[in-house]
Structure 1
Amino acid sequence: MGEVKLHGTWNSPYSWRVIWALKLKGIPYEYIEEDLSNKSPMLLQHNPVHKKIPVLVHDGKPICESMVILEYIEETWPQNPMLPTDPYEKAVARFWLRFADDKIPMLWRIARTNGEEEKQAIKDASEMLKMIEEHGISEKFFGGQKIGLVDLALGAVAHWFVAIDSKKGLKMLEAHNFPRLHSWTKDFKEDPVIKENLPDLTPLLK
């Protein structure tokens, strides 16, 4: 199988996407915590272009960018598949993977802004969440009755955004606003593997 290492940071949802995938696949790995204010020579060597985490190193070969890493994991370790085999369903899943990468960053604006900027950020986030609510979730999880790559890609909504939502007192993800997303969030975080691998975000909310 080859040695597997993961360079990440404890509070990054992008790192946790990869951790969840490795755990769900049952792949042993070594985790290396990075200090992004003082990036290690190894991180800079493995990702000289963007100099970012996460970086998966498999058998000495680095793979960068969380979404690329997820698909690499899926293709390299076929056990417990997390993408559909049907070409159309796989294309739909890849659409939502791209959507997650493009849109999730707008959620962090709510945590960083106030006043009119915050109002606009909340409006934009609400519209994005509505798209997911109405067009993304059709069953218990995005890919059906078990967790798939799209669920991992949107895991930031279930944990990080829920924390921001609570801190700001917005209650955006209450059941009466987004019933499907609300239910998905609970189901996702109650999955045994996910439940055992959720970071404590308390330090970020002070």
Structure 2
Amino acid sequence: MTKLLPLFAAALVASAGAAAAGGFVPVVAETPVTAPAPAPVVITPQAAPSGDWTGLYLGGQLSFGQLGYERDDGDAGEADLDGAVGGLHAGYLRDFGRIVAGAEVAYDWADLKVDDEDEVTFDAGADLEGIARAGLRLGYDGGRVLPYATGGYARANLSEELAGSGEDSADGYYFGGGVEYAVTDRFSLGGEVLRHEFDLDVDGLDTGLTTVGVRAAYRF
């Protein structure tokens, strides 16, 4: 028994030394790392035009025009002048809900030439150089779309005095219609057809100008 005690003590010392050298390694459970969720992307839509047409506006127009000179009896022939017509316009509209009404003034410069296919059998007298207009507009508020009718006073400026009258201008009237589209609250595009009738103060001579074109305006 006394011989076993030294051996037992040596075994205890050896095991204690091994424990001190290596130590006990605790088992640590790994915690999974979760990536943060991405922030939601918020898309803010652009504000649509309000559809309120009230206010001042300024713009320009470009049209194809045809001016016809014709005798009442039809025996003296006729002449058609075709070409570009374009200029500036300004006006004011008031939106009353469904009805939109206002006034507009405009001036067009003309570059009309006699149609090569026409056989001119009388002296038309002068070329058209410009048209001034002042009239009213009446339309329907369709939101971003405004169909309208228009009409009023028109004055033609001629390149020279008209044979038989001694005048280089002629008074008359115009009427027509169009559609305008509000691209934004400030900018609009449209199309328009107008008919002009002028009194040339020459017996038996009628004249009329038809224009078909586009227009754009900035709204204040």
**TM range, normalised to the smaller chain?**
under 0.3
Larger C-alpha radius of gyration, 1 or 2? 2
Instruction: Indicate the structure with greater helix content.
Output: 1
Which TM-score applies when normalising by structure 2? 0.18
Instruction: Indicate the structure with greater strand content.
Output: 2
Which TM-score applies when normalising by structure 1? 0.18
